[in-house]
Structure 1
């Protein structure tokens, strides 16, 4: 029975570390760029856009191109956030590839 208690306490400790990692990830900010830095999007750890910067050169383009640049910059930021989130989770899990929303059964 001692092994089960030990396992349970380790699982609870891991759950707390996961919660701390999730809180840390929410505070992350990443940037995404497109069009040779014509558009820059800043994204928070919970995938909310914090800012969009459009250079004057980009503003001279058609609305369709500007829209595409914004989408590309957001997608770039999203990929950067996934990588950064995976790094933060890896620190907690010791390299296990657990999903960010991983929940222990208690």
Structure 2
């Protein structure tokens, strides 16, 4: 392989990865905990963009349970979003693990 061809392929991959990152930022993922008592939505930037709590899940005598449900839902959504990002990026990179990329 000559160097020019290799550089061109690298530039194309970089361009595809940038486009993929933009597209992923617009995606959202929903996760629930406690049988739907807590629902969260995260985006491709791994930001929490929505949180809904069923009023029946709010027990002033057991705030810790509600906190645990929120943490579980948020952490699950973040893991699933990271898996989605890794899967989509893997399609672009052909499975290569590139430094500095998610």
Q: Please, what TM-score do these two structures have when normalized by structure 2? A: 0.86
Task: State whether structure 2 residue 59 is matched by structure 1 residue 60.
Answer: yes
Secondary structure at 2:81's aligned position in 1? helix
CA distance in 2, matches of 1:76, 1:49: 12
Matched, 1:12 2:11: yes
Cα distance, 1:73–1:17 mapped onto 2, change above 3 Å: same
Which residue number corresponds to residue 90 of structure 1?
Answer: 90
Alpha-carbon distance in structure 2 between the residues aligned to 1:50 and 1:28: 11
SS of aligned partner of 1:71: helix
The residue aligned with 1:51 is 50
Structure 2 alignment gaps of length 5 or more:
none
Q: Deviations over 1:11-54 (max 9, x none)?
A: 11111111111111111101121112210110011111111111
* Segments of 4+ moved more than 3 angstroms: none
Matches within 5 A, 1:16-55: 16-55=15-54
In structure 2, how many angstroms separate the alpha carbons of the residues matched to 1:97 and 1:32? 28
CA shift for structure 1 position 94: 2.3
RMSD between aligned alpha carbons?
1.8
> How far apart, in 2, do the equivalents of 1:98 and 1:31 lie?
28
Q: Which residue of 1 aligns with 2:70?
A: 70
The number of aligned residues is 100
Unpaired segments ≥5 residues, structure 1: none
